[in-house]
Structure formats: C-alpha cells, structure tokens
A and B are shown apart, each in its own frame.
Chain A
Amino acid sequence: MGPVICDGMSHAEKGFLRNPSRKKEAVMRWKRFLSIVALVSAVGLGIGVCSMAQSNFMVQCPADNDGIDADGDGDPTNDIVCKHLTAGDGFATMADGTVMYTFGFSEVPEDVPPGQVFALRQVKAELPGPTIVLREGQELYLNLTNVGMINRPDLFDTHSVHWHGIPNSGSIFDGLPESAPTVKIGATFPYYYATLGKEGTYFYHCHVEVTEHMQMGMIGQIYVLPRQDQDMVLRSSGNPPYAGFAYNDGDGSTGYHVSKAIQLAGFDSRFHAQHIAIQNLPFAQLKDDYHLMNGRGYPDTINPNLLGASPENNGHFSQRMDARIQARQGERVLLRVHNISTTHLFTVRVLGIPMKVVGIDGKLLRNGSKDLLYETSSLTIGGGQAADLLLDTTGVPPGTYFFYTTNLSELINGQEERGGIMTEIVVCPASGCGT
C-alpha cells in the first residue's frame, strides 16, 4: 500500500457515486479522501495534517447496470440505493425550550465537496436520523462516516448502523460492536442490505455503547415498501386508488392513501446534561422525562417547520421531522410506529377513528391463510417493537383527532405538562383539505 494521498473526489465523480442511475463501466467505484483536519482543529491544534493522516474513507456505490428490474417499477437502472450518512453530535431543542446535547446521524448533502465532509458535517446530528425508504427488491449501500463528537473531543467512540429486525441478517452488516468491525472517527464503513422479501416497518440505530448512543439520539426510521405497490390493479381497488400497501397482502387489505412513520423515543434530561458536562453518565438512574414523537414533544409534533436551530447548534436545524397527519374523509391512513425509548414502553391510542393493527415487527399479521389482523383502540409497544396501524376515516366527521400515549406521565416535556407523545390527525372533508 502506497502513502495516503490527500486527494478528494471531483464533483462529477461524487455525482456518479451518489446517483446510481448514472451508468459507469466500473461495477464498483470508490475514492478515498482525507478527513481528519476538522477533528484536529477542534481539539485546538488548528493545523491541517493531510500528510500525517492514516484515516481515510471511501463511499461505495456501484452502478445498476445489470438490466434487471429488481424492484419491479419498470426501470431497471434504479434498483441500487446509495446513502452516505455521518455519525456525530449536535443539539436538539425540546418543546419547553431545553437544549439537549445529542449524538445522531445525518445525510451528506449533494453539494458538500467530498474533501469537506468532515469539516462541514460535524455537529449536524439529526433527531431522528434521516428516514430511509426503499422499494422491495432494491439494494441499499449505506456508507457511514464517523465525524466524531466535536463537543466531546475526549471521546473516541466508534459508530455503527444496526438495521433493527431485518430478517436473516449477516453479522458483518449487523452493526454489533462485538461481532463486526465498527467505524472509527474519520473513516467510513459500507453497509449492504438486500430487501427482497423484507417489506415492512423497521428502524435503525447505532449499536456501539448502545445504551448511551441510543439515549443520545442515534436513532432513525427505515421501511421497505412492498412489491405489491407496483400492482396497479390492486391499487385501483381502493376508492380513491391506494397510494400503496403496508405488506404484500395479496388482497389489498393493507392498502392506504396516506402514510406517516412515527418514532416514539425519549430523553432523560439529566443524562444529556451530564454528558455535555463530561461527567459520569447516570445509567442506573436512567428514566426519560422528555417523550418524543419524531424527535419532538407536543406541540412541536404538529409544527411543520424545521426546528432545533439553537445557538448551541450553530443555527443548524436538527429536528427536521414533524408528526402531523392529514387525510381526507374516507381515506385510509397507515401509521408506521416504533418505540426506540431506552426506558419506556408506550401505550398509544387514537380516539374517534377506528384503528386496525395490520402488522407488527415488520410482518403482516397473517399465518398462512389465517388472518390475525385486529381492531383495537390502543396498543402497547415495547422498546424495539414496531406496529403498522391502519386508520379508516370512512364516515369519520371532519375535525382534529389525537394520536397519543395513554400513559399520562408520558404526556410531558420535562416539567411542562400537555406535551410529550401526542400529535394531531386532521380529517378534512372528502372534497379536500383546502389551502
């Protein structure tokens, strides 16, 4: 191996790497570039050390030129999905104004020059991490770059991606620090997942120091749209036609018009305060006092704006996802809900709209020919569980309905009540939602 060269990709090359539909002759292309300057400057040395650096990373993304339409959407060139996520730190703002130190994932935007990933993508952790949506049959190349926790320069943690629940995983891509390599600061690890036969609702998180890193916010959503979404006949069996299905049900029973992925999580404010203060972490006393839907407590859950741009976070928006749900009367709403709290089980409920459980843990509720779908008004979801809830607004009077936890102590933002895990479902008249 020759000396490490301080080179970066050109924009054009990066465009290729990030855009799988652009064909190149090479099946596998990668480039390395240097990425340690920002870290060094952050710890106060303030000098670039390209020639010293041993850490480098490559973003892997082969072209889809096999001519096979693996996801069945009619386009044989879009079956490879490439993501470039960073793992690092940042700050999130709770609904009561409390700013909390976080770890998290974020996606590297197209316009970030490759040599600048490390410098420009630090302190960009998002809560939750970017949502990854795949079509069944697609392959995912997930490149994870560890940009370090710049506000905790004493830490040298590795990071990983654990696709929680994916069937028949291989340990090399399972993200366990015990049974796989995990990526150091300034380097990139490529994760690969095939999705055939794996449609359903999942999520991902870092599995390194897992209690700490999950509590700190290294959590994101991932789900696989079923192949059945390409069945236009079945889709047109809905009235109006379905936008898609939760699963390959064969009969349209999981068809929906509107879908929303909702992550239930929580923060223990003392844990986060101790963390940024570089104090011992109170694992034994862990108990979340901020309960979150898509990284926000009510009423931020219904705020359509980007949030989290605190001075601590250098004005960067870290909470980019709301939890608002809007549907026209007569439409079916699919809620993909999972719980990734490190301390709580949540019981969720919708008042006024019939709710059917169609899937749990990424599986259609059906055993052979036996249907196990059921209607309920509440469901308890433990940490590490997911549920697909189908809400039918047929005959539901237009108005605002609530999706919330029935555990009253979880309807809080710290000391503030009427917060936490609650969001609004707006049912509009069948004619439309207006402006």
Chain B
Amino acid sequence: MRKSRWFGLALGAWAMLEMTTAAWTQAKIIGVEGTSFDLVARQDRITLGDGDSMLMWGFALGEGRMQYPGPTLILRQGDTVTVTLRNSLPREAGNVSIVFPGHEVTASGGVEGVLTREAPPDNTTVVTYTFTATRPGTYVYHSGTRPDLQVEMGLVGVIVVRPANPTPTPDCPPVPQGHNEAPPRSLCAGTKFAYDHPDTAYDREFLILMTDMDPRVHRLVEFGRIKEIDTTNFFQTVWFANGRNFPDTIANAQVPWLPTQPYNALFLMHPGERLLVRMATLGRDPHPLHFHGNHVRVIAKDGVLLSSGLGAGPDLSYERYTVVVNPCETVDAIYTWTGALMGWDIYGHAPGDPLAPYEFIGDHGANFPVILPSRDDVKFGQLYSGSPFLGGEGFLPPEHAGLNVGGGFFYMWHSHTEKELTNNNVFPGGLITFLGVVPWNVPLESE
C-alpha cells in the first residue's frame, strides 16, 4: 500500500478520459517516413510518471524539440537512407554519433570515433550516415559514443523497415476454425505484412521500446557534476515504454503536456485481428514482457525471420506468454485474441442471438458460469465496464471513473520483473501498458 498510488491512478484516469473522448484513436506506430532524416542531438527535459522532471539528451527531428525516444524512422525495404547528425548538446556531453545495429553503414563528416564518425558539440559539424535498408524488420539506433552514458541519457530510437513484398490487401483477417465469419470488409483495417512472406500477415501493428533510467546520473549531469558519474554502478529505478512511464503510457500520443515524449504505448484491437507487436529494449536490463489475454507467436528477432530457409516463412516461430527482450535486441511477434474455449459466451448472447464477428461458435449462448458477488464485496477497476461481457455495460458504483465506454476487455502488458512496475519508488508505474480488445462496433482507426 502506497499513498501515492492514487495519485498515479488519478493521472491514469485522466489519461483514459482523454483517450475515450478521442474516439479510440492513436493506437498505432507514429514515426517519420522517408529516405532522408535530419537528426540533431539536444538537451531537454521529460516528465516521469511520479511527476518528477528529468534532464535528458536525445535526438530531435530538424529544428524540433528533443524527444525521448528519438523519432521512429519508418523505412521501406530497398531504400537507400541518409541520416545526418548535428550535435547541439552542451559541451560537457562531448561528441555524439549514431550506430544502426543490423545495417551496413557508411559514415562521413565529423571526427573519427571508436565505433563510427562523431559530431562534436559545436552545433555546426554534420555527420552523414548512409545505409540501404536491405531487410525488413524492427531495428534500433543509438549513440555509439560513450553509449554507457549516452544511451542512459536518452540518445535512442527505433527503425521500422517495411517489406517491399507482399503488397498489402484490404482483406479482413482469416477466420480461425470454429469461429464466426468476418465482418464486412469495409470495417477491417486491411492485411499488411511484417516480412517477405504471407505468414507474417497482420492487421494492426504496435511498437514497444523498453528503456530504463538511473535518476542519479541525470541529476549529476544537471548539476554539472558529470565527472562524478560512475557508469559501472548504475541502479535503474525508472522504466519506460516508448519513453513514458505508466500511466502516461496509455495517454494519447503527442499530448501537449508531454512535449518531449510524443509516443504512447496503448494497444487496441478487435477480436480476431492480428497484431504485429514490435518489441525492442535499450538500456541496462533485460525485460520479460508478459502478455495478458493470450500467447504471442514470436516470428523474428533482430530483424531476422525465424525461418529454416528461404521461402519457408516463420516456420521456426514459437508461442510465449512472456518474451524476454535483452538490451539492444528486437523481437517481432503476432498476437491475436478471440476468446475461444473460454466455456461461456463472452458476448452474453442467448443461444438464438446472432453471432458476433470472429465469435467462437462452440461457446455461443453458453451461460456465464458464476454468480458475481455484490458490489459491496468487491472493488471495481477503472477499466471494468460493470459487465463481464465484451461490449457490455453495467452499473458502476459512485467514485468509479467509467473509463471503459466501449465495454472492452483490457489486458495489461507489462514487465514481469515486477519491480519495474514502479516510478522511482512509486507503485504503480513503469513498464505497464494495456491492450484493449474492443468489440467490432467500436471503430478503431485504420492504418
């Protein structure tokens, strides 16, 4: 029991209200597409989930503000990409560079560093990195200069490379055996592909970059005591999903009160849809990401399809309910959910009622198996609709925020190193976000 928990949950409630009034949008990957990116390393501040303000070094797009994480670069397979870097950090930060693990990079300009060419903190010198995005997948980029300090300080980002083939189609997801048919095609988000194989199809995609922080380091930098930093004894106490701590993770993207943390990490889907979950970790610690609701099928690591050979597709893929993502590693997985084999009709249907899209036929009309206790006996979660049924609604007691307007099923996706569910000693926080499975009559933004 922590007194400050309610502070956090109040924030979350506010965030969810924002989300619901925005009609369930902003659950997608936000980034910059193109072949030429102008990045500038800048110093700025971010807001932690406990309300603290922390000094950061990060990447900015052109003349924009620094952001944490850096801009997500969305590339197309086969494109030759140019990234320029300028260093506007304070002099004590020293040189900055970018490395792109998984890509063959040519660097020019600036000064020679240990790993690559670097930009000195003169706000003038430009370093140019060029590479061809030969393979689709999820990648990271980060500072290659004193990464033991500069990755901690926030010089990190993600690269998504989309495959040249196959071509996306407007199709609905396929109907699994034993399930009801798909809705009209106009309601579906359309089928896309993660890799160059039809078995990597998905309908929606989401990104979760997991990072961590030792606030002592940032304070020493802020107070001009950078020479006292010992990068061998970091002890992380703050954890991030896409640069935010819970509950900010489930607020909208690009909200004005988090100007340097533009990305959220809220996941939303309809039953039967396939989610491509792009996971990445940068920083000190590995993170076991646990998926409530169902297993994920891991199809790729570090941008490499888990395949026994050319054209075989992800035949070496495997299912997990927890995926450990190590620092500087990326994992791509497909998640889906229909509620099959639950033993009761999750829609609360009577036997003669029409079936919902992708409803598991075997449970249609099956009774809810228990009598729920009286409202006095339980505490309702803020994301409980008042009904156990998908799309349902029920009485909510006074003081309940009523955030689940669509009657969705909300599943926590979180680090199962549970100490990481805190914001510098405050629970809840850290590496928590949510997947909302909402019924098909709640529209989600197409991608």
Contact = CB atoms under 8 A, between A and B. Distances in A.
Interface in A160-183: 162, 164-165, 167-172, 174, 176-183
B25 interface: no
A345 interface: yes
B316 interface: yes
B100 interface: no
Contact of A178 (B339, B343, B383, B418): B383
B384 interface: yes
B237 interface: yes
A55 B319 contact: no
B288 A385 contact: yes
A187 to B, nearest CB: 3
A230 B404 CA distance: 44
Contacts of B416: 382-385
Given A212-B427, A286-B419, A360-B318, A197 B341 contact: yes
B373 A57 contact: yes
Contacts of B418: 210-211, 214-215, 342, 383
A167 B417 contact: no
Contact of A168 (B290, B317, B341, B421): B341
Interface stretch (B58-66, B131-139, B292-300): B292-300
B379 A55 contact: no
A314 interface: no
Contacts of A209: 1, 5, 427
B2 interface: yes
Interface stretch (A114-122, A302-310, A362-370): A362-370
Contacts of B5: 209
A345 B324 contact: yes
A44 B215 CA distance: 43
What DSSP secondary structure best describes chain A's contact surface? loop
Interface residues of B, number: 64
Given A60-B370, A345-B288, A384 B379 contact: no
A57 B374 CA distance: 9
Contact of B379 (A141, A158, A368): A158
Contacts of A370: 308, 315-316
Contact of A363 (B288, B292, B295): B295
B372 interface: yes
A320 to B, nearest CB: 24
B373 A187 contact: yes
Interface in B60-117: none
B323 to A, nearest CB: 9
A209 B426 CA distance: 11
A265 to B, nearest CB: 11
Contacts, number: 226
A139 B378 contact: no
Given A283-B425, A367-B316, A179 B384 contact: yes
A141 B371 CA distance: 11
Nearest to B370: A190
A168 B371 contact: no
Interface string B1-45: 110010000000000000000000000000000000000000000
A304 B222 CA distance: 56
B319 A363 contact: yes
B290 A164 contact: yes
Interface string A202-215: 00000101111011
A359 to B, nearest CB: 10
A343 B417 contact: yes
B91 to A, nearest CB: 32
B288 A383 contact: yes
Contacts of A184: 376-379
B173 to A, nearest CB: 16
Given A168-B339, A363-B318, A384-B322, A182 B381 contact: yes
Interface string B359-375: 00000000001111100
Interface of B: 1-2, 5, 235, 237, 286, 288, 290, 292-295, 308, 315-322, 324, 337-344, 346, 369-373, 376-384, 388, 404, 409-412, 415-419, 421-422, 424-428, 434
9 contacts: A157-B1, A168-B341, A187-B377, A193-B343, A198-B341, A284-B422, A341-B417, A360-B320, A383-B322
The 3 residue pairs across chains A and B that have the minimum distance between CB atoms: A384-B416, A194-B343, A382-B288
Given A210-B428, A283-B422, 10 more contacts: A180-B381, A181-B381, A181-B384, A197-B341, A198-B341, A211-B421, A284-B237, A362-B321, A370-B308, A382-B288
